[in-house]
A and B are shown apart, each in its own frame.
Chain A
Amino acid sequence: MSETGQQLRNKDIVGIKDLSCDEIELILNTAVGFRDVLRRDIKKVPTLRGKTVVNLFFEPSTRTRTSFELAAKRLSTDVINFSVSASSMVKGESLIDTAMTIQALGADIVIIRHSSSGVPHLLARHLNASVINAGDGINEHPTQALLDAFTIMEKYSRIKGLKIAIVGDILHSRVAKSNIYCLRTLGAEVRLIGPPTLIPEGLIDPDIEIFHSMEEGLRDIDVVMMLRIQMERQDRGFFPTTDEYFRFWGLTLERLSLARPGAMVMHPGPMNRGIEIVSAVADSPQSVILEQVTNGIAARMAVLYLLSGRRG
Chain B
Amino acid sequence: MMRKDLNLIIRNGHVIDPSQGIDGKGALLVEGGKIKEVFQDSGFGIQADSTYEIIDAGGLYVLPGLVDMHVHLREPGYEYKETIKTGTMAAVRGGFTSVCCMPNTKPVNDNETVTEFILRKAYAEGACYVYTIGAITKGQKGEELAEMGMMREAGCVAFSDDGLPVMNSLLMRRALEYSKVFGVTIISHAEDLNLSSGGVMNEGPLSLRLGLRGIPVEAEVIAIKRDIELAALTGGRLHIAHVSTAGGVRAIREAKRDGIEVTAEPVRITLPLQRKQYVITIPMQR
By a beta-carbon cutoff of 8 Å, the part of chain A in contact with chain B is: 195-197, 201, 212-213, 236-241, 243-244, 247-248
* 7 closest residue pairs by CB, A with B: A240-B145, A212-B181, A244-B147, A240-B147, A196-B177, A197-B177, A196-B180
Are A197 and B174 touching (Cβ within 8 A)?
yes
| A236–B146 CA distance with the chains assembled, in angstroms | 13
| Shortest Cβ gap from A35 to chain B (Å) | 40
Are B148 and A240 touching (Cβ within 8 A)?
yes
In the assembled complex, B235 has its CB within 8 A of some CB on chain A = yes
Q: Quick one: which of A197, A238, A248 has the most chain B CB within 10 A?
A: A197
Report whether over half of chain A's contact residues are helix, strand or loop; otherwise say mixed. loop
Are B145 and A196 touching (Cβ within 8 A)?
no
Are A212 and B180 touching (Cβ within 8 A)?
yes
| A247–B180 CA distance with the chains assembled, in angstroms | 16
| A82–B62 CA distance with the chains assembled, in angstroms | 81
With a CB–CB cut-off of 8 A, which chain A residues contact B147?
240-241, 243-244
With a CB–CB cut-off of 8 A, which chain B residues contact A237?
144-145, 170-171, 174
> Interface code B176-212, partner A: CB below 8 Å = 1, 0 otherwise?
0110110000000000000000000000000000000
Q: Which chain B residues (117-164) contact chain A, with CB distance < 8 Å?
A: 138, 144-150
With a CB–CB cut-off of 8 A, which chain B residues contact A212?
180-181
With a CB–CB cut-off of 8 A, which chain A residues contact B138?
240
With a CB–CB cut-off of 8 A, which chain A residues contact B150?
243-244, 247
In the complex, what residue of chain B is closest to A201 when comparing beta carbons? B235
Are B144 and A196 touching (Cβ within 8 A)?
no
Contacts A196-B234, A197-B174, A237-B171; A248 near B145 (Cβ below 8 A): no
| A205–B234 CA distance with the chains assembled, in angstroms | 17
| A187–B217 CA distance with the chains assembled, in angstroms | 56
Are B181 and A195 touching (Cβ within 8 A)?
yes
Are A240 and B144 touching (Cβ within 8 A)?
yes
With a CB–CB cut-off of 8 A, which chain B residues contact A248?
149, 181
With a CB–CB cut-off of 8 A, which chain B residues contact A197?
174, 177-178
Contacts A196-B234, A201-B235; A240 near B149 (Cβ below 8 A): yes
Partner of A244, one of B149, B170, B171, B235: B149
In the complex, what residue of chain B is closest to A243 when comparing beta carbons? B147
Contacts A237-B144, A237-B171; A196 near B178 (Cβ below 8 A): yes
Are B181 and A240 touching (Cβ within 8 A)?
no
| A201–B138 CA distance with the chains assembled, in angstroms | 26
| Shortest Cβ gap from A238 to chain B (Å) | 7
Are B235 and A247 touching (Cβ within 8 A)?
no
With a CB–CB cut-off of 8 A, which chain A residues contact B174?
197, 237-238
